[in-house]
Amino acid sequence: MKIGAENKKKVITMAALLAIALPLTLYSFRGMFGGSSAGPPPSSRGAPPPGKPSPSTQDPSQDPRLRTDILEASRKIRYEPGRDIFHMKALPTPTPIVAVRQTPTPPPGPTPTPPPPPIPLKYYGFASKPGEPRKVFLADQGGERVFVAGQGEIVDRRYRLIQIQPSSVIMEDVLTNNRQPIPLTPNPR
C-alpha cells in the first residue's frame, strides 16, 4: 500500500497521538489489572510497629473488626413506630402538655360584604323622536365605545337600563343585581 503525500501528514499525526494515548490509557487501567494501587505498600499495612497500641485500643470507631457487642445490642431493641431506625439512641420521652385555661373568644361574626363595584359607564344624554321610545347615549370609561340603548335593554352584555331621567339614568348590573344611578356628564368634546 502506497501512502500519498497528503496522507503522510495524517499518518504522522495519528502516530503521535497514538504514542501519547497509549501510555495514558495504560496508566489509568493499571490498578484494574493487578498493578499497584494508590495506597501505601502492603508491607506497611501489617501489624502496628512495636510500641504503638493496636487500632482497637486507640479509637474504637477506627477499628475495622466486627463489633459483636454492638450487633447484639441492636438485635435486642424492638422496633416501635416513630423510632428512628438509623440511629442507636432512644427517643426522648415527650413532656406532657398541660392545658392552659383561656378565656373563650367569641366566634367571628360574618364578614361584611364589600360594596359592589361601580358601573363603568358614563351617561352623555338622550334622544327622542315623536312616536319612538327614548334612547340614551352611554360610553365606557375609556370613551372608546359608545352605546345607544332604550329602557329595559342590556348594554355591554352586563348592564340593564332600568329608568331614563333628564339628569341621570338608573342602571342595574345583571350579575350582582346592583342598581346605581349614573349622572349626566358633559360631552368631552
Q: Is the pLDDT of residue 164 over 70?
A: yes
Tell me the pLDDT tens digit for each residue of 28-69: 887 676 655 555 544 444 455 555 555 545 666 777 888 888
Residue 126: pLDDT band by 50, 70, 90 thresholds?
confident
Q: Which of 128, 145, 126, 146 is nearest to 136 (CA)?
A: 126
Q: Are 155 and 121 in contact (CB under 8 A)?
A: yes
pLDDT at 36: 54
Q: Is the pLDDT of residue 160 over 90?
A: yes
Q: Give the Cβ contact number of residue 181 at 10 Å.
A: 14
CA 176 to chain centre: 36
| pTM (predicted TM-score) | 0.40
b vs e for 95-109, b when ≥16 Cβ sit within 10 Å of the residue's Cβ? eeeeeeeeeeeeeee
Enumerate the domain spans of the chain: 121-183
